């Protein structure tokens, strides 16, 4: 055990002259990876995986926190599912009030906290994504809470729809950034953000044009997005000790870090 510990410690060393964003392989069998200015054995690194909200290789966290990604992904998926069923006009539902409760508590507050916990364990991507979408749900719910006076401030209904449309397109732009940064991760992790980006685009266009068919299409794509969120959440909690069904990640082309 002492030998293993010494080996692990010796595999880490500073190389100040290496740029922080530089990633390369080293060793006779490419068993080492240099991330920034530190050298790691490949088995010391986490691979890209949606269940940990990790789009690329990074060291395992050194703290005692549990993995907060499944909590954030579950909160995101549930609230997205409820809103998307409303947007798709499923069962003739036209009043979004039930969505507000989920957006405030589960999709908003809980997902935001999961994002903060991701930052605490050193996952910049996971923290940025979960805290951002937690903030989205909190701000979205505020639009439909009368005491905020947001909707009431618009005397022209079309102006209100246009404002919501720009709001949604803005979130599509934010999501496109996450699409780019998961393009070398895994199929299902990348698909989550790709479908979410498409959902925001369709909903934004639907609000700007007033075409109900486009909004309903956004709702349908949103339902698919919700199930992709649940899939990645399940991937983060299921293993051979607790489930007969275990998710195996499928790396995207261009992901050369097979750990």
CA distance 91 to 113: 33
143 and 30 part of one domain: no
Q: Is residue 257 part of a domain?
A: no
Q: Identify the bridge partners of residue 23 per DSSP, sorted by sequence position.
A: 35
Which one is predicted more confidently, 218 or 36? Answer: 218
- Would you state the pLDDT for residue 35? 54
131 and 233 part of one domain: yes
Q: Is residue 158 part of a domain?
A: yes
41 and 77 part of one domain: no
Q: Is residue 192 part of a domain?
A: yes
Domain coverage including residue 139: 69-237
Percent with pLDDT over 70 in the chain: 73
93 and 147 part of one domain: yes
142 and 223 part of one domain: yes
Q: Stretch 18-34: mean pLDDT, rounded?
A: 50
Cα separations in angstroms, 156 against 1, 87, 151, 159, 162 = 71, 22, 10, 5, 10
Asked whether residue 241 carries a pLDDT value surpassing 60, the answer given is yes
Phi then psi dihedrals of residue 43, to 5 deg: -70, -10
Which one is predicted more confidently, 41 or 67? Answer: 67
**Among 15-24, 100-109, 140-149, which is the least confidently predicted range?**
15-24
Q: Stretch 148-174: mean pLDDT, rounded?
A: 96
Asked whether residue 78 carries a pLDDT value surpassing 50, the answer given is yes
Which one is predicted more confidently, 64 or 39? Answer: 64
pLDDT band at 158 (very low <50, low <70, confident <90, very high): very high
- Would you state the pLDDT for residue 106? 97
CA distance 150 to 93: 23
31 and 93 part of one domain: no
Asked whether residue 113 carries a pLDDT value surpassing 80, the answer given is yes
CA distance 160 to 150: 9
CA distance 132 to 171: 10
- Would you state the pLDDT for residue 19? 39
């Amino acid at each position: 055990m002492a030998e293993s510990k010494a080996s692990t410690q010796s595999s880490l060393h500073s190389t100040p002259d290496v740029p922080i964003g530089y990633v390369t392989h080293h060793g006779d069998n490419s068993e080492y990876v240099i991330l920034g200015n530190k050298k790691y054995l490949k088995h010391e690194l986490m691979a890209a995986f949606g269940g940990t909200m990790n789009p690329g290789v990074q060291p395992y966290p050194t703290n005692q926190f549990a993995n907060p990604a499944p909590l954030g992904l579950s909160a995101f998926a549930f609230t997205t599912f409820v809103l998307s069923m409303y947007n798709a006009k499923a069962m003739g539902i036209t009043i979004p009030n039930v969505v507000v409760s989920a957006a405030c508590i589960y999709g908003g507050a809980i997902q935001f906290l999961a994002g903060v916990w991701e930052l605490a364990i050193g996952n910049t991507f996971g923290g940025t994504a979960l805290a951002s979408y937690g903030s989205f749900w909190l701000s979205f719910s505020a639009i439909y809470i009368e005491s905020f006076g947001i909707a009431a401030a618009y005397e022209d209904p079309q102006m209100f729809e246009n404002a919501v449309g720009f709001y949604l397109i803005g979130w599509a732009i934010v999501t496109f950034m996450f699409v780019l940064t998961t393009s070398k991760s895994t199929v299902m992790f990348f698909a989550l953000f790709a479908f979410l980006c498409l959902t925001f685009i369709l909903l934004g266009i639907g609000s700007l044009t007033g075409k109900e068919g486009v909004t309903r299409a956004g709702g349908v794509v949103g339902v698919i997005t919700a199930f992709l969120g649940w899939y990645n959440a399940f991937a983060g909690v299921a293993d051979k000790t607790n489930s007969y069904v275990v998710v195996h990640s499928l790396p995207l082309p261009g992901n050369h870090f097979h750990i």
